[in-house]
């Protein structure tokens, strides 16, 4: 009975956190489409978060994409050439690199690099009284702190995913053409990849890059603003937020992949 009761409490707590994150995301989406809420401080906060989450991660993302291009793209090209199925190169690259690897890797980068900083920063602001000071000044903490971060995480994750896909495919083609194991016809390579893209692939990339980022941003903001009065609560809140974000990334990616492969 104790085990069952403890399990029930954990499940109920996770369900409450999921509902809280869904409420934050829903409210953010409703508010973000209303121009009157985009006052100058909110616009400035959003731009800063895009720079921090997205622009500053471009170098890391490009480095990862080059490694994926040199390993995965080249290996797929070699396997396809050996099997005599050159027409399958495009669909394999789209499925493996664009639809599966890229959104997941970018999600991990956004969560680990920016999600932890987001939760820690908001937790310190909550303990230091800056959140209360914003309320006293008549500034909504949700508009100034939460909405810019969650929306910037989603926008940055999508843009970084596109950058990752392009760099991975380009580096794979250049490496393959340099070592001389495959065709050096750039137009043929581009045609094989572009012709393999289907509407469901575009929808899958959008869903697997934006939805986990929205959930991670909301979870990290909730964790940071939900700390107590002690600084020792910040690392624990950050850790819980990261775990929830990683689990959300895996679950959302799995569900989207399952729906994508359904006929």
Percent of the chain with pLDDT over 90: 39
pLDDT, position 189: 74
Instruction: Answer yes or no: is pLDDT of 8 > 60.
Output: no
HSE of 9, CA atoms in CB hemisphere, 13 A: 6
pLDDT, position 11: 55
pLDDT, position 81: 65
Higher pLDDT, residue 139 or 167: 167
Nearest residue to 156 via CA among 215, 110, 205, 208: 110
Higher pLDDT, residue 83 or 155: 155
Mean pLDDT, rounded, of the chain? 84
The pLDDT-based confidence of 263 (bands split at 50, 70, 90) is: low
pLDDT, position 2: 58
CA distance 125 to 110: 21
* pLDDT tens, residue by residue, 219-251: 999 988 888 777 888 888 889 899 999 999 999
Instruction: Answer yes or no: is pLDDT of 57 > 60.
Output: yes
pLDDT, position 86: 59
């Amino acid at each position: 009975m104790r085990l069952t009761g403890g399990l029930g409490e954990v499940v109920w707590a996770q369900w409450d956190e999921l509902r809280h994150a869904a409420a934050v995301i829903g409210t953010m989406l409703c508010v973000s489409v209303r121009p009157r809420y985009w006052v100058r401080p909110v616009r400035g906060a959003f731009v800063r978060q895009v720079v921090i989450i997205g622009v500053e991660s471009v170098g890391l993302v490009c480095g990862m994409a080059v490694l994926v291009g040199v390993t995965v793209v080249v290996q797929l090209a070699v396997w396809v050439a050996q099997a005599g199925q050159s027409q399958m190169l495009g669909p394999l690259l789209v499925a493996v690199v664009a639809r599966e690897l890229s959104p997941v890797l970018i999600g991990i980068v956004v969560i680990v690099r920016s999600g932890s900083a987001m939760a820690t920063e908001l937790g310190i602001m909550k303990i230091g009284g800056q959140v209360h000071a914003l309320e006293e000044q008549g500034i909504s903490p949700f508009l100034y702190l939460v909405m810019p971060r969650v929306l910037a995480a989603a926008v940055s994750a999508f843009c970084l995913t596109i950058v990752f896909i392009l760099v991975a495919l380009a580096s794979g083609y250049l490496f393959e053409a340099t070592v001389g194991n495959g065709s050096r016809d750039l137009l043929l390579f581009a045609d094989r990849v572009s012709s393999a893209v289907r509407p469901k692939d575009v929808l899958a990339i959008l869903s697997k890059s934006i939805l986990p980022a929205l959930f991670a941003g909301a979870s990290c903001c909730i964790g940071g603003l939900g700390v107590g009065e002690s600084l020792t609560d910040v690392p624990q809140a950050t850790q819980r937020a990261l775990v929830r974000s990683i689990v959300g990334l895996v679950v959302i990616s799995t569900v989207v992949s399952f729906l994508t492969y359904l006929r």
